[in-house]
Amino acid sequence: MNILLIEDEPKVAAFIKKGLEEQFHQVKLAYDGNMGRKLALEEDFELVVLDAVLPELNGFEVCKQIRKFKKELPILMLSALGTVNDKVNGLESGADDYLTKPFHFEELLARIKALDRRRTTVLPGTVYEVADLQMDCYRKTITRAGNMIILTVKEFTLLEVLMYNKNRVLSRTYIAESVWGINFNRGTNLIDVYINYLRIKIDKGYDKQLIQTIIGMGYMIRD
C-alpha cells in the first residue's frame, strides 16, 4: 500500500516507517498537521496513519479536513489519548480506526490489513435494503422512505454490518471486531453510543423501528 504517515515524533515515525517498509509498503512522512493535510489532499494514498497530537494543526482537525474531500480514504488514528471520549472524538472526526499508544507493531499491521480488506470488499452496485431503508455502498448514500440520511464514516460502517446481517442477532463482540477492529475494549459503552446515534438518524420519526436490542445477546436490524 501507498501510505501517508503523519507523526511528529522522529523516533516513533522512523520506527513505524521502517516496519511498514519491511512489509513492502511505501511510506511518505509528514511531521506536522499542515503538511500532512496538504499531502493527503494533493497526492494519491491508500491509507493515512495519523497521530492525534500534532504541531500547527492537530490530528482531529486534519482528519476532518481530509474526510471532507476524500470520503473513501482509510484513516487510522494513533494517539496517547486513550479515554472513551478521545476515541469517540477521533472516530467522529472521520477516522476509520483508533489505536492507542503504546502499541505492539503487530497490532498496527493487523489493523492496516483489516482496513485494506474493507477498502477492497465493496463492489460497485452493492445495495442493501431493509424495509424502506436503502444503503448504496458504492455511492455511500443512505435513504429511508426516500429521505436522505447523513452518517459519519463509523456510523455508516456500523449500519453496513447490521444491514449485511439483517434479521440476525449480532453480539457486541462481533460488532466490535467488525467495526472497530481487533482488541476493541469491550468494557466501554462505545457500541451502545453508536447504536443510539443510528437510532436517532434511522428510526426517529418513523412508525417502524428497525434497529432492535436483543437483551443479553446484542443488536439486530429487522426487516
Q: Is the pLDDT of residue 124 over 70?
A: no
Instruction: Specify which of 81-95, 108-122, 128-142 reaches the highest per-range mean pLDDT.
Output: 128-142
pLDDT tens per residue, range 160-215: 989 988 999 998 888 887 787 655 565 678 889 999 999 999 999 999 999 999 99
Instruction: Specify which of 62-66, 99-103, 119-123 reaches the highest per-range mean pLDDT.
Output: 62-66
Task: State residue 121's pLDDT score.
Answer: 54
Q: Which of the pair, 71 or 155, is modelled with greater confidence?
A: 155
State the cell numbers at 14. Answer: 522512523
pLDDT tens per residue, range 89-98: 888 888 988 9
Segment among 28-37, 107-116, 119-128 with least mean pLDDT: 119-128
Task: State residue 204's pLDDT score.
Answer: 94
Mean pLDDT, rounded, for 82-90: 83
- Please tell me the distance from the alpha carbon of residue 170 to that of residue 183, in angstroms, as a whole number: 17
Contacts 24+ apart (CB under 8 A), 169-177: 169/214, 169/217, 169/218, 169/219, 169/220, 170/218, 170/219, 170/220, 171/217, 171/218, 172/218, 172/219, 174/218, 175/218, 175/219
Task: State residue 122's pLDDT score.
Answer: 52
Task: State residue 190's pLDDT score.
Answer: 83
Q: Is the pLDDT of residue 25 over 60?
A: yes
Calculate helix-pair angle for 190-202, 84-92, nearest 10 degrees.
40
Mean pLDDT of the chain: 88
- Please tell me the distance from the alpha carbon of residue 179 to that of residue 190, in angstroms, as a whole number: 11
pTM, rounded to two decimals: 0.60
